[in-house]
Amino acid sequence: MKALVYHGPGKKSLDNCPKPELKSPTDAIVRVTKTTICGTDLHILKGDVATCDPGRILGHEGVGVIDAVGSAVTTFKVGDHVLISCITSCGKCEFCRKQMFSHCTTGGWILGNKIDGTQADYVRIPYAETSLYPIPANVDEEALVMLSDILPTGFECGVLNGKVQPGSSVAIIGSGPIGLAALLTAQFYSPAQIIMVDLDDNRLEVSTGFGATATVNSRDGTAVEQIMKLTDGRGVDTAIEAVGIPATFELCEKIVAAGGTIANIGVHGTKADLHLESLWDRNMTITTRLVDTASTPMLMKVLASKKLDAKLLITHHFKLEDVINAYEAFEHAATSGALKVIISTQ
Amino acid sequence: MKALVYHGPGKKSLDNCPKPELKSPTDAIVRVTKTTICGTDLHILKGDVATCDPGRILGHEGVGVIDAVGSAVTTFKVGDHVLISCITSCGKCEFCRKQMFSHCTTGGWILGNKIDGTQADYVRIPYAETSLYPIPANVDEEALVMLSDILPTGFECGVLNGKVQPGSSVAIIGSGPIGLAALLTAQFYSPAQIIMVDLDDNRLEVSTGFGATATVNSRDGTAVEQIMKLTDGRGVDTAIEAVGIPATFELCEKIVAAGGTIANIGVHGTKADLHLESLWDRNMTITTRLVDTASTPMLMKVLASKKLDAKLLITHHFKLEDVINAYEAFEHAATSGALKVIISTQ
Amino acid sequence: MKALVYHGPGKKSLDNCPKPELKSPTDAIVRVTKTTICGTDLHILKGDVATCDPGRILGHEGVGVIDAVGSAVTTFKVGDHVLISCITSCGKCEFCRKQMFSHCTTGGWILGNKIDGTQADYVRIPYAETSLYPIPANVDEEALVMLSDILPTGFECGVLNGKVQPGSSVAIIGSGPIGLAALLTAQFYSPAQIIMVDLDDNRLEVSTGFGATATVNSRDGTAVEQIMKLTDGRGVDTAIEAVGIPATFELCEKIVAAGGTIANIGVHGTKADLHLESLWDRNMTITTRLVDTASTPMLMKVLASKKLDAKLLITHHFKLEDVINAYEAFEHAATSGALKVIISTQ
Amino acid sequence: MKALVYHGPGKKSLDNCPKPELKSPTDAIVRVTKTTICGTDLHILKGDVATCDPGRILGHEGVGVIDAVGSAVTTFKVGDHVLISCITSCGKCEFCRKQMFSHCTTGGWILGNKIDGTQADYVRIPYAETSLYPIPANVDEEALVMLSDILPTGFECGVLNGKVQPGSSVAIIGSGPIGLAALLTAQFYSPAQIIMVDLDDNRLEVSTGFGATATVNSRDGTAVEQIMKLTDGRGVDTAIEAVGIPATFELCEKIVAAGGTIANIGVHGTKADLHLESLWDRNMTITTRLVDTASTPMLMKVLASKKLDAKLLITHHFKLEDVINAYEAFEHAATSGALKVIISTQ
pLDDT at B346 over 90: no
pLDDT at D136 over 90: no
Q: How far D308 CA sits from the closest chain B CA (Å)?
A: 9
Residues of B with CB under 8 A from a CB of D: 165-168, 187-193, 213, 297-302, 304-305, 307-308
Mean pLDDT for A260-271 is 97
Q: How far A199 CA sits from the closest chain D CA (Å)?
A: 40
Task: Report the candidate in B31, C162, A97, C53 with the shortest Cα–Cα distance to residue D297.
Answer: A97
What integer best gives the mean pLDDT of chain D?
A: 97
Residues near C55 by Cβ (< 8 Å), separated by ≥ 6?
Answer: C5, C6, C7
For chain C, the 3-state helix, strand and coil shares in percent, each to the nearest 5, are 30, 25, 40
CB contact under 8 A, A288 and B267: no
Tell me which chain A residues have a C-beta less than 8 angstroms from the C-beta of C297: 167
pLDDT at A75 over 90: yes
pLDDT at C346 over 90: no
Which chain C residue shows the shortest CA-CA distance from D269?
C277
CB contact under 8 A, D297 and A94: yes
CB contact under 8 A, C94 and B297: yes
Residues B74-115 pLDDT 10s: 999 999 999 999 999 999 999 999 999 999 999 999 999 999
CB contact under 8 A, A298 and C167: yes
Tell me which chain A residues have a C-beta less than 8 angstroms from the C-beta of D130: 91-92, 97
Q: Which of A165, A168, A305 sits opposite C192 (nearest CB)?
A: A305
Report yes or no: D103 and C283 within 8 Å, Cβ to Cβ.
Answer: yes
Tell me which chain C residues have a C-beta less than 8 angstroms from the C-beta of B93: 75
Residues near A106 by Cβ (< 8 Å), separated by ≥ 6?
Answer: A90, A93, A126
Q: Which of B71, B91, B99 sits opposite C92 (nearest CB)?
A: B91
Tell me which chain A residues have a C-beta less than 8 angstroms from the C-beta of B283: 100, 102-103, 288-290, 292
Task: Report the candidate in C173, C176, C45, C63 with the shortest Cα–Cα distance to residue C125.
Answer: C63
Residues C295-312 pLDDT 10s: 999 999 999 999 999 999
Residues of D with CB under 8 A from a CB of A: 24-26, 70-72, 75, 91-94, 96-99, 129-130, 294, 297
Q: What is the CA radius of gyration of chain B?
A: 20
Report the C-alpha gap between B211 and B196 in whole angstroms: 10
Q: Which of D26, D93, D99 sits opposite A72 (nearest CB)?
A: D26
Greatest alpha-carbon pair distance for chain D in Å reads 61
Residues of B with CB under 8 A from a CB of A: 95, 98, 100, 102-103, 244, 246, 249, 258-259, 264, 266-277, 279-290, 292
CB contact under 8 A, D102 and C283: yes
Tell me which chain A residues have a C-beta less than 8 angstroms from the C-beta of D85: none
Q: Which chains touch D (3 or more CB pairs under 8 A)?
A: A, B, C
Which chain B residue shows the shortest CA-CA distance from C91?
B91
Residues C32-52 pLDDT 10s: 999 999 999 999 999 999 999
Please provide residue B293's backbone torsions phi and psi, each rounded to the nearest 5 degrees.
55, 25
Residues C208-261 pLDDT 10s: 999 999 999 999 999 999 999 999 999 999 999 999 999 999 999 999 999 999
Residues C87-124 pLDDT 10s: 999 999 999 999 999 999 999 999 999 999 999 999 99
**ipTM for the complex shown:** 0.97
Report the C-alpha gap between A9 and A54 in whole angstroms: 8
Task: Report the candidate in B151, B60, B115, B138 with the shortest Cα–Cα distance to residue B343.
Answer: B60
Rounded to 10 deg, the angle between the D177-186 and D201-210 helix axes is 30
Rounded to 10 deg, the angle between the C39-46 and C323-331 helix axes is 90
Report yes or no: C310 and C303 within 8 Å, Cβ to Cβ.
Answer: yes
pTM value?
Answer: 0.97
Which chain C residue shows the shortest CA-CA distance from D100?
C259
pLDDT at D138 over 90: no
State the pLDDT at residue B136.
86
Residues near B90 by Cβ (< 8 Å), separated by ≥ 6?
Answer: B96, B104, B105, B106, B107, B127, B130
Q: Which of B103, B269, B283 sits opposite A288 (nearest CB)?
A: B283
Tell me which chain C residues have a C-beta less than 8 angstroms from the C-beta of D96: none
D315 pLDDT tier (thresholds 50, 70, 90): very high
pLDDT at C136 over 90: no
Q: Which chains touch B (3 or more CB pairs under 8 A)?
A: A, C, D
Q: How far D226 CA sits from the closest chain C CA (Å)?
A: 23
CB contact under 8 A, B166 and D187: no
What integer best gives the mean pLDDT of chain B?
A: 97
D137 pLDDT tier (thresholds 50, 70, 90): confident
CB contact under 8 A, D25 and A71: yes
pLDDT at B318 over 90: yes
User: What's A317's DSSP letter?
Assistant: E
Q: What percent of chain D has pLDDT over 70?
A: 100
Pick from D193, D302, D308 the residue to mutate for testing the B interface (most B CBs within 10 Å). D302
Mean pLDDT for A281-298 is 98
Tell me which chain A residues have a C-beta less than 8 angstroms from the C-beta of D294: 97
Pick from B281, B282, B291 the residue to mutate for testing the A interface (most A CBs within 10 Å). B281
Residue with the larger pLDDT of the pair D48 and C326: C326
CA distances from D173 to C111, D147, D197, D207, D211 (A): 39, 22, 5, 12, 15
Residues near B221 by Cβ (< 8 Å), separated by ≥ 6?
Answer: none
B138 pLDDT tier (thresholds 50, 70, 90): confident
Task: Report the candidate in A97, C233, A83 with the shortest Cα–Cα distance to residue D90.
Answer: A97
State the pLDDT at residue C38.
97
Which residues face C168 on adjacent strands?
Answer: none
Tell me which chain D residues have a C-beta less than 8 angstroms from the C-beta of A92: 75, 91, 129-130
CB contact under 8 A, C280 and D268: yes
Which chain C residue shows the shortest CA-CA distance from A214?
C305
pLDDT at C316 over 90: yes
Which residues face D239 on adjacent strands?
Answer: D171, D262
Tell me which chain B residues have a C-beta less than 8 angstroms from the C-beta of D300: 167
Mean pLDDT for C128-139 is 93
Which chain B residue shows the shortest CA-CA distance from A242?
B280
Chains C–D, number of C-beta pairs less than 8 Å apart: 116
State the pLDDT at residue B298.
97
Number of H helices, E strands in chain B: 13, 16
Report the C-alpha gap between A318 and A324 in whole angstroms: 9
Report the C-alpha gap between C298 and C307 in whole angstroms: 12
Q: How far A270 CA sits from the closest chain C CA (Å)?
A: 35
CB contact under 8 A, A213 and C305: yes
Mean pLDDT for A78-99 is 96
Report the C-alpha gap between A18 and A346 in whole angstroms: 18
Task: Report the candidate in C10, C80, C3, C75 with the shortest Cα–Cα distance to residue C35.
Answer: C3
State the pLDDT at residue A136.
86
Q: Which chains touch A (3 or more CB pairs under 8 A)?
A: B, C, D
CB contact under 8 A, D26 and A97: no
